[in-house]
């Protein structure tokens, strides 16, 4: 698991980091004079866990948050978690035949990736796989949009996505790609075993090589007059169909 220092901002992202990974939170900045009770809770929880808290003005928070709305709180975080590819096998095996893996092939909008991670956490996925190239990484915007999900689920950044899919197949994982032109319906596909669901990025969808490594292509039936869904919406629909079947 690789680590690097970065600032994370926003009430949900900071609260989640303190709750789920306090050892890696170096300090918390809270806007002085704020009447927001959530900020008071965050400050108290941080102090309880031995994390240094500083009260600062809004300008200081603007400086660390950049273009991301900080909502009056930021944290210096020592572990922007990305899991190593070598850890995937252990994650799949630990799921004991019920692995649910989300593969995002080239999502470049941090808001979309954050929303996908939030849905993935809610669905209890085993891991999320993203390519190192042609994809946004886990930055401050992703963390804030994910509402803390980026700290709760393994996000694996891989060098070669096609090779990673082959490795998953060797572990007994069936791989289904979402494609609008597919004949098979998502709802008629058995999603109850070791499954990886692959969604393409904005615009072009899955890359050709990714598509070729899928065991099957499925589509979300859309009776309305729209060709495709936003990737984060499609991710939510797809993951929760798998959840529905598994219950």
> What would the pLDDT profile of 70-128 be if each residue is shown by its tens digit?
889 999 877 556 688 999 999 999 999 999 999 999 898 888 999 999 999 999 999 99
Residues 122 and 44 in one domain: no
> What would the pLDDT profile of 127-155 be if each residue is shown by its tens digit?
999 998 878 877 767 876 777 777 778 99
pLDDT exceeds 90 at position 169: yes
Instruction: Output helix, strand, coil percentages for the chain, rounded to the nearest 5.
Output: 40, 25, 35
pLDDT band at 35 (very low <50, low <70, confident <90, very high): confident
DSSP labels, 83-114? B-GGGHHHHHHHTTT--EEEEEE----HHHHH
Single out the residue of 166, 152, 155 nearest to residue 131, CA to CA. 155
Looking at the chain, the whole-number percentage of residues with pLDDT higher than 90 is 58
196 Cβ contact partners less than 8 Å away, ≥ 6 residues apart: 99, 101, 102, 103, 129, 165, 168, 173, 174, 175, 176
DSSP 8-state class, residue 43: H
Does the pTM surpass 0.85? The reply is no
The whole-number pLDDT of residue 2 equals 44
The CATH number for 90's domain is 3.40.1280.10
- Residue ranges of the binding site for S-adenosyl-L-methionine: 200, 220, 229
pLDDT band at 199 (very low <50, low <70, confident <90, very high): very high
- Residue ranges of the binding site: 200, 220, 229
Sheet-wide strand order for 184-185: 155-158, 127-131, 100-105, 195-200, 174-178, 216-219, 184-185
The answer to whether position 241 is within a domain reads yes
Mean pLDDT, the chain, rounded, equals 88
Tell which of 77, 111, 132 closes a domain. 77
The answer to whether position 11 is within a domain reads yes
Q: Return the residue matching tokens 């994390």.
A: 51
Span 166-178, average pLDDT: 97
Domain that holds residue 237: 85-246
């Amino acid at each position: 698991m690789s680590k690097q220092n970065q600032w994370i901002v926003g009430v949900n992202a900071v609260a989640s980091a303190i709750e789920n990974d306090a050892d890696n939170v170096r300090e918390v900045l809270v806007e002085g004079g704020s009447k927001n009770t959530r900020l008071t809770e965050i400050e108290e929880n941080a102090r309880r866990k031995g994390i240094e808290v500083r009260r600062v003005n809004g300008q200081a928070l603007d400086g660390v948050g950049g273009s991301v709305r900080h909502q009056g709180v930021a944290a210096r975080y020592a572990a922007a978690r990305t899991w190593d590819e070598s850890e995937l096998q252990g994650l799949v095996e630990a799921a004991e035949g019920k692995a649910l893996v989300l593969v995002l092939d080239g999502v470049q909008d941090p808001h979309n990736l954050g929303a996908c991670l939030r849905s993935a956490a809610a669905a209890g996925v085993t891991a999320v796989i993203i390519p190192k190239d042609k994809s946004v990484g886990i930055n401050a915007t992703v963390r804030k949009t994910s509402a803390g999900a980026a700290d709760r689920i393994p996000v694996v950044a891989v060098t070669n996505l096609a090779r990673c899919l082959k490795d998953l197949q060797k572990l007994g994982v069936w791989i289904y790609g979402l494609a609008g032109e597919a004949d098979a319906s998502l709802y008629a596909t058995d999603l109850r075993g070791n499954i990886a669901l692959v969604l393409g990025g904005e615009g072009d969808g899955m890359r050709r090589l990714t598509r070729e490594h899928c065991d099957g292509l499925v589509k979300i039936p859309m009776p309305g007059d729209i060709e495709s869904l936003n990737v984060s919406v499609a991710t939510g629909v797809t993951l929760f169909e798998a959840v529905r079947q598994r219950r």
